[in-house]
Structure 1
Amino acid sequence: MDMFQIISEDRIKKAYEDSEFDNLPGYGKPMKLEDLAGIPEELRMAYKLLKNAGYTQEESGLRQELMTIEDLINKCDDSKERANLKKRLNEKLLRYNQLMSKRRKTTNSSIFKNYEVKIQNKLK
């Protein structure tokens, strides 16, 4: 054991003896373990890091859908279909922004900057 490990172990033992851990939230309750059986073992740590950082599968899926819809709009020739795609894009943008606001994150994507500029121009 190195010196830092010995010092930290001593401090933990002293804190335990002084009952400093007794008032922690969840003390005496069973831990909530996540079921990671569906995730390959080599990806579990990355999954946990992303999840703890607030990235979710829903967010990732929405970002993918936004890019797909934007590509479809750029390649679409039919005006009716383009209008439908823009409506879907707006719905997805709103949902994505809701997810981001829950995490108190701003959206720095060019998609949202363009959307914000369009809204501001309409409001003028």
Structure 2
Amino acid sequence: MKDALFIIAEQKILEAIENGELNNLPGSGKPLNLDAEKNVPPDLRLEYKILKNAGMLPEEASLKKEIAILQEMLRHCQNHAVETSLKQKLTQKILQYDLLKEKRKRR
């Protein structure tokens, strides 16, 4: 099942293609540089490569995904009790993510 964000993004991309907004873009027809390691700090590259090869997400990526899912669920929630529970979970995940980012900065 596709989530709402995916569907919206797909619609926007299809509209842009139909309107010709994606024609003649810089780099068009050239191969993509999919080397994600350049965005990973050098001291974490080995960790990330091992996780990637194992098919696992780094903790930050996993938390960001959970946060996005909770935010989407909140947008569609119509039950006050469920909404309160979702808000608590969201706050907890955001705090975890922020603490993890701060910890990584200090390395």
Tell me the TM-score normalised to structure 1 length: 0.42
